[in-house]
Chains A and B, each alone.
Chain A
């Protein structure tokens, strides 16, 4: 396993996470991430043979306890204006945002 998160990897993660940090925050977060990684590294020592599957949930989803999925039918919200009104900036029932940057894909 890689030993620790270096500054370049950290900066990359900050970008992916859509965050922007000042130096003090960045220093704290990088230190804590690496401390947590030390604890996580305990996992490497556990003998896991190939037969051990991953569990996405503790309680298994089996048909006897899982409700049937709802029918996929459109149900209009009684008051969509109330939902739109939660947005920080709206105009004519639309949510307003600044320019969406365009990138040209290779």
Chain B
């Protein structure tokens, strides 16, 4: 096995035993990037070549030299006998929605393409302080607005390492694809409706959406400020726990970062599931979505390929001593997307007003007579269609005359979604769950071009992940098998506020129990 394919935790042990150096790890990852990534995403990059269609294209910016320097600094610390930090020498990528000092921080948008961040986001600062080595900034949907990465202004967009004809998911598609392809051991993503968990499921890796406030948002280019959660993407649960350990915790620079002690995630990881109550809800085994032709709402069961791995996981957990609680009602699940269409758009429109061609970022090269014209031309040229769509919808549903029927109503529906979880997790209630086990996505990775352009259908890819964002609770997606086309299927664990330790523990138990299963031996297509 090549160094770049070894999980972070094992790399860390090998490094401390001085069997390998941090520079060797970094070089192995850079070689993998050279072998499978193809050209990085760029503006106005021309049409796709047949070779492009076989590559991963996870990156926008590769920070080769600074990565090697960071790795050498770790090696020097080790040689001097100093503690190099919990993530010493571990290569990671950063979704290009985080500011990192001295790097282009683009949000995959033309409007920020020339922006070089003058400061670094807290989660990245913490990764680097723990000795992790940043290999670069990875691609995403423009401003995170999508579930496939196809909306990035930086093309070629990332492709799924398991089959490059398929999307990697989104919006943290570059994060998930870079980890799945062995380009990096870890990636820092964000999740506003499922943007860590959905691409993690599509790419066969582990993704954690922490509790809202568990990880600081300082330095994150904002989308939905009441929903955005930075979190880890990793190749297994141990690595995800290791990364969360480093990035979690209060931050004086983010007053919404919760003042809650961070438990020792690794110490509790092998605690097993004996006696835990894990729920299954019929409301997570069907989807309701508007028919693309008629607009009528249709409800249908999930495909068998999606349902089976979840039920199998329940059996595995039961055999390990967990108690499976069936028929847990989560009746407001189906309203997650309609409420999200309103709440996230209002927050997005508000957050996007700052991009005006005056203070930083893109400014129209056209000569404009007055400031209003400058704003309009800059925003028209700088934003792609998806940001424009969100701004317009946000303004409409929050307008004085419509706010009560749309925005205020959506916020009250959000309360109902939260109550579903409170009732399921209530310690003295009927169900008393430690976690809810669900599929992560209604389908496996769809083909490039199959959904893009239909903004409604695209949003419904997040139907099973978005309730956790409304409720603020943590969610973990982990690989649960492969479908008939050998594309990964994700299973999801949801738990009460700040129960990441419990979710990681359950995930680890499942991972260990299924370690030798045949589907785990199959590699992504780009690595075969």
* A contact set with B: CB distance below 8 Å: 1-2, 5, 9-10, 13-14, 16-21, 25, 28-29, 32-33, 35-36, 38-44, 46, 48, 52-59, 61, 64-67, 69-70, 79, 82-83, 86-89, 95, 97-101
Contacts and interface: CB of A to CB of B under 8 A. Distances in A.
Interface in B316-356: 332, 334-335, 337-339, 341-342, 349, 353, 356
A103 B365 CA distance: 26
Interface in B456-473: 456, 459, 469-473
A17 B395 contact: yes
Given A19-B391, A46-B335, A55 B118 contact: no
5 contacts: A18-B372, A33-B389, A35-B455, A43-B338, A58-B471
Contact of B455 (A13, A32, A83): A32
Interface of B: 115-116, 118, 211-213, 226, 250, 252, 255-260, 290, 295, 297, 332, 334-335, 337-339, 341-342, 349, 353, 356-363, 368-377, 379-380, 383, 385, 388-389, 391-393, 395-397, 402, 405-406, 408-416, 418, 454-456, 459, 469-473, 497
Contact of A66 (B255, B379, B388, B459): B255
Which 9 pairs show the lowest CB-CB distances between chains A and B?
Answer: A58-B472, A59-B472, A54-B411, A88-B363, A86-B360, A20-B376, A58-B471, A42-B338, A20-B380
B410 A43 contact: yes
A40 B405 CA distance: 10
B371 A39 contact: no
Contacts of B396: 5, 9, 13, 33
Nearest to B455: A32
Contact of A44 (B369, B388, B405): B405
Contacts of A86: 115-116, 118, 359-361
B432 to A, nearest CB: 20
B376 A18 contact: yes
Residue among A16, A25, A56, A67 with the most chain B CB within 10 A? A67
Contact of B295 (A32, A35, A70, A98): A35
A30 to B, nearest CB: 9
B406 A40 contact: yes
Nearest to A53: B415
B287 to A, nearest CB: 13
A67 B252 contact: yes
B99 to A, nearest CB: 12
Nearest to B367: A98
